[in-house]
Structure 1
Amino acid sequence: MIEAIAFAITIVLPNLVLMWLGFFMQRRGEASKTFIDQSSSFVFKYCLPCLLFFSVVDSEVDYEKQIVLIVAGILVTFILFIGAELYAKRFVSRPADQGVFVQGVYRSNMAIIGLATVANAYGASGLSIGAVYMGVVTILFNILAVITLSRVSKSINDTWVSRSMMIVKKLFTNPLILALLAAFTYKALPLPPTTGVIHTIGDLLAAVALPLALICAGASINLKSMLHLSGLCMQASIGRIIIAPIIAILVGIGFGLSEVHMGVLFLMVASPTAAASYVMAKAMGGNDVLAANILALTTVVGMFGMAIGAALLRALGMM
């Protein structure tokens, strides 16, 4: 059990330290909103795509074996989405809150905290598995987000056609998805390995991605808003921090996943609510204050939940 606890601390503590550093910098005035916005944009558009592209291109992972993992991840997402929708329909009265609640439950921060924790746990091979998983499930995340947030409309011209166009636009302009498609295409074609200057530049940008993203995540935490949490925020956070990981474990057991695949599934699903959930909620007329509070609470508390879950799975020989 001591070894399992040490493993959990090893994979979670580096992320917590970097997030604490970002929060510390923000409190000292060393990380302004402009810095956070520009750095986050830089990571999303350039660093993370390089990380995903080269992790896939350089890996020797058999991606056909990941089909079971991806199907398991899709099933977990649908279970969480449908369950949250049914709960919101019964217990959440305001339409502006319903979609935000649902997003807070099913949509995890795979691209930053999930990938960083998987990399800490399994190294380059785990990172490439996580990258493929993230690429597929991210598409589903975006589609479900538009569906659940569409109950609130800011414009009379907001129709299912316009929402469908929004989904297509988001998917085909998402740098992370484009990077993964480019990587799969590169591996499928008889092209030489990426070496030399190009690979060196890609490695340098990739090395920046996760540390800077975690620092920005920590700098974005607003403790004042967390002191005024609503009951709905707490309910959504329980769904994300406790219920989602339990469902992931049960589905993983049902699919008979290997230790590494179970670990990737758990860490991706158990991650805090995705930052994109706030952006989507604000853009589509949802309760952006509730979205921000869910994001903050799950980001602070969710990391400890990941550590506890990882320690238990490790002790049971499942991760």
Structure 2
Amino acid sequence: MAVLNLLAPIFLIIALGAALQRGGMLAGPVVAGINKLLFWVGLPAAVFSALVTGAGGNEGAGALLLAMLGGTALTAVLAWWGGPLLGVQARARGTFTQGAFRSNLSFIALPLLLSVPGVPIGQAMLTFAPMLLLNNAVAVWVLLASQDEVGGRMWRRIGLGVVRNPIILASVTGLAARLAGWTPPVALLTTLQSLGRMALPLALLCIGAALMTVPVKGNRRLPLIAAGFKVLLSPLLGYGLGRLLGLDAAAMLVLLICLSCPTAAVSHTMVKQMGGDEGMAATTVVFASIGGAVSLAVVLAQFAG
């Protein structure tokens, strides 16, 4: 019952977002504006304030990060090399791979980490910036590599993506403030926390609205397999690594929330912009969103305090 009480509000808000989109209240331009507000203001404020005030020390963050990076990297490698064996065409290889490993960290994992009981916020936030870097860098690499465009262009895009990402910048500055022992003035901190609290409901509403506009088309077998990699294989690999590294239940909760999240919706936009298989990307997002709800429910049932 506790897990139901925790999950029900999340999925009810997502369903509300879908209903509002259908009713015209969350039309495309409105959702785009809210996403921009979250990306540039709400989520960075939430990350920074959580880092500088998060309970718990930095102990154990290294093992947690290693398990998270390892689970993500192993999934990406298996999808990249296994894709052709499953029938993925050469130019769709990057699309399949990034759909198989790229978690929706900003709009699903982060709000959950900030709201689920038992999450060690300090450790969770310390792993966030490196994971965003890995997700973005590898997604760009596989999409370009499948089109034989690896080179200087790739590194420029990755570099620009890092320096322009406000969530990564908030993670870095928040970490620096935490390590230096600096706490913002009460008025500033309260402002940041208030801005951060808007992130969860708005992000969930936007996810519901976005799912109503993502087209499901083309071959469904390969997107279903990619979604299985994302919401089943990735958390299983992460769980195995977490056990090997001796993670406790609280750290395992952070690890599995991040790895069980569905494929990032923004991956569909990136694939479209970079000439990948748009139909495969969109369908993977939808299938992974459905499967991710089940995976996250299992994780929260087993590990949430």
For the aligned pair, the TM-score class normalised by the smaller chain equals over 0.9
Deviations 1:209-253 (A, max 9, x none): 121011001101137834766111111111112222222221111
Q: Report if aligned partners of 1:119, 1:126 keep a CA contact under 8 Å in 2.
A: no
Show the counterpart of 2:8.
13
> 1:122 is paired with a residue of what secondary structure?
coil
**What root-mean-square deviation, in Å, do the aligned CA atoms of Structure 1 and Structure 2 show?**
2.2
Residue 227 to residue 15, structure 1, CA distance change in 2 (3 Å): farther
Q: Is the 8 A contact 1:240 1:272 kept in 2?
A: yes
Q: Deviations over 1:151-177 (max 9, x none)?
A: 344xx9x55111101101101111001
**For 2:278 and 2:33, how far apart are their aligned partners in 1?**
21
Matches within 5 A, 1:205-284: 205-222=195-212, 225-226=215-216, 230-284=220-274
Residue 272 to residue 293, structure 1, CA distance change in 2 (3 Å): same
Asked if 1 retains the 8 angstrom alpha-carbon contact of 2:42 and 2:199, the reply is yes
Identity over aligned pairs, percent: 24
Q: Which residue of structure 2 aligns with residue 297 of structure 1?
A: 287
* 1:36/1:219 contact within 8 Å kept: yes
Residue 234 of structure 2 aligns to a residue whose secondary structure is helix
- On the 8 A contact 2:126/2:175 being kept in 1, the answer is no
Partner in structure 2 of residue 118 of structure 1:
113
Contact kept in structure 1, 2:72 and 2:101, CA below 8 Å = yes
Change (3 A) 1:253 1:183: same
Q: 1:278 to 1:223 in 2, by over 3 A?
A: closer
Corresponding residue for residue 134 of structure 1: 128
Q: Which residue is 1:27 aligned to?
A: 22
- Give me the whole-angstrom Cα distance separating, in 1, the residues matched to 2:232 and 2:80: 17
* Cα distance, 1:49–1:144 mapped onto 2, change above 3 Å: same
Cα distance in 2 for residues equivalent to 1:36 and 1:249: 35
The equivalent residue for 1:167 is: 158
The amino acid of 2:178's aligned partner reads K
What CA distance in whole angstroms lies between the structure 1 residues aligned with 2:65 and 2:282? 29
Q: Could you tell me how far apart the structure 2 residues matched to 1:255 and 1:132 are?
A: 17
Letter in 2 for 1:30: M
Change in 2 beyond 3 A, CA 1:276/1:223 = closer
**Structure 2 contact 262–292 (Cα < 8 Å) conserved:** yes
The separation in 1 between residues aligned to 2:244 and 2:132, in whole angstroms, is: 23
Tell me how far apart the structure 1 counterparts of residues 181 and 293 of structure 2 sit (CA, whole Å).
42
- Contact kept? 1:272, 1:295, Cα under 8 Å: yes
Amino acid across the alignment from 1:179: A
- Cα displacement (A) at 1:186: 1.8
1:204 lines up with 2:198 in the alignment? no
**Is 1:47 aligned with 2:37?**
no
C-alpha change, 1:277 and 1:219, in structure 2 (3 Å) is same
Which 5+ residue runs of structure 2 have no aligned equivalent? none
Structure 1: state its 5+ residue gaps. 1-5
Q: What residue number does 1:96 align with?
A: 91
Does the C-alpha gap of structure 1 residues 151 and 184 become closer, same or farther in structure 2, counting only changes over 3 Å?
Answer: closer
Paired residue secondary structure (1:120):
coil
Q: What CA distance in whole angstroms lies between the structure 1 residues aligned with 2:214 and 2:277?
A: 18
Structure 1 letter corresponding to 2:234? A
8 Å CA contact retained: 1:11, 1:120: no
What TM-score do you get using the length of structure 2 for normalisation?
Answer: 0.92
In structure 1, distance between residues paired with 2:141 and 2:112 = 29
Aligned residues between the structures: 305
> CA separation in 1, counterparts of 2:300 and 2:177?
34
Cα distance between partner residues in 1 of 2:227 and 2:181: 47
Distance 2:106 2:120 in 1: 14
Q: Determine the C-alpha separation between the residues in 2 that align with 1:208 and 1:50.
A: 10
Counterpart of 1:162 in structure 2: which amino acid? R
Aligned equivalent of 1:188: 179
TM-score, normalised to structure 1's length?
Answer: 0.88
Aligned residue number for residue 3 of structure 1? none
* Cα distance in structure 1, aligned partners of 2:235 and 2:185: 39
- d(CA) in 2 for partners of 1:250, 1:7: 26
